[in-house]
Structure 1
Amino acid sequence: MTPFGSKMRQLRADKNVTQQQQAHYLGVSNAYISALENGARGKPSAVLVDQICVWLGLIWDDAEELKRLAALSHPKPTIDVRKQTPDAVLLANMLAQNIERLDDNDCQILLTALEKRLG
């Protein structure tokens, strides 16, 4: 599941609406909504995210958060480290080769450190 899919599922459940209702409003299939929520599809288009925000009646901050999560929800991200330092190349490779070994706590520790450093 992607961060976007998880958040969209939570927001939809909070509004007590179904995937089918959402799919109908957005003009997409129920299978597509399910795939977005489960991470089987890549990040949605900006237009679709805007439509989801309107449909869910999200206020400014919540809409911006959903858009941010959509941008960070590609299930197969690519990192080009060709012009980076050896440490950056090492970091990218270690993460790629070991991501399945990290639990939620490990991920949260790394995310917190990166967010603190990058602002």
Structure 2
Amino acid sequence: MTPFGEKLRALRAERNLSLKQMAEGLGVSSAYLSAVEHGHRSRPNRRFVHRVCQYLNIIWDDAEELQSLANLSHPRVTVDTAGLSPQATVLANRLSDEISRYDNETIERLLAVMDDAAST
């Protein structure tokens, strides 16, 4: 599941909408909406996020948050390390190979390290 899919499912549950009801309201199939929620489709585009926001009456900061989550929700990431150090290539390859074995606590720690590095 992607961050966008998780949020979309939570919003749907908060509003007591079935998958079928929401899919009809968005003009998509239930199968498509389910695939988006589970991260089996590519990252949702701005147009789809806008339709979700309109359908659910989401505005301002909440709409920006939903778009940000969509931007972070590509389920099949490609990392281009061309021109970077050999260590960067090792990091990208190890993360690709090992991420499925990490529990959420480990992932949170890695994200915290990356956040710290980005702020310096």
**Shorter-normalised TM-score: what interval?**
over 0.9
Cα RMSD of the aligned pairs, angstroms, is 1.2
> SS of the counterpart of 2:98?
helix
Q: 5+ residue gaps in structure 1?
A: none
**How far apart, CA to CA, are the structure 1 residues paired with 2:106 and 2:59?**
32
Match for residue 55 of structure 1?
A: 55
Alignment of 1:1-119 (within 5 A): 1-119=1-119
Write the deviation string for residues 24-66 of structure 1: whole angstroms up to 9, x where unpaired: 1111101000000111111111100111012111231111111
Percent identity, please: 46
Return 108-117 or 86-95, whichever deviates more: 108-117
> SS of the counterpart of 2:41?
coil
Return 89-98 or 18-27, whichever deviates more: 18-27
Write the deviation string for residues 1-41 of structure 1: whole angstroms up to 9, x where unpaired: 11110011011111111211111111110100000011111
**How far apart, CA to CA, are the structure 1 residues paired with 2:39 and 2:117?**
28
Q: How far did residue 76 of structure 1 move?
A: 0.9
The one-letter amino acid paired with 1:40 is: H
**How far apart, CA to CA, are the structure 2 residues paired with 1:100 and 1:81?**
21
TM-score (norm 1): 0.93
**How far apart, CA to CA, are the structure 2 residues paired with 1:97 and 1:75?**
15
**How far apart, CA to CA, are the structure 2 residues paired with 1:14 and 1:100?**
30
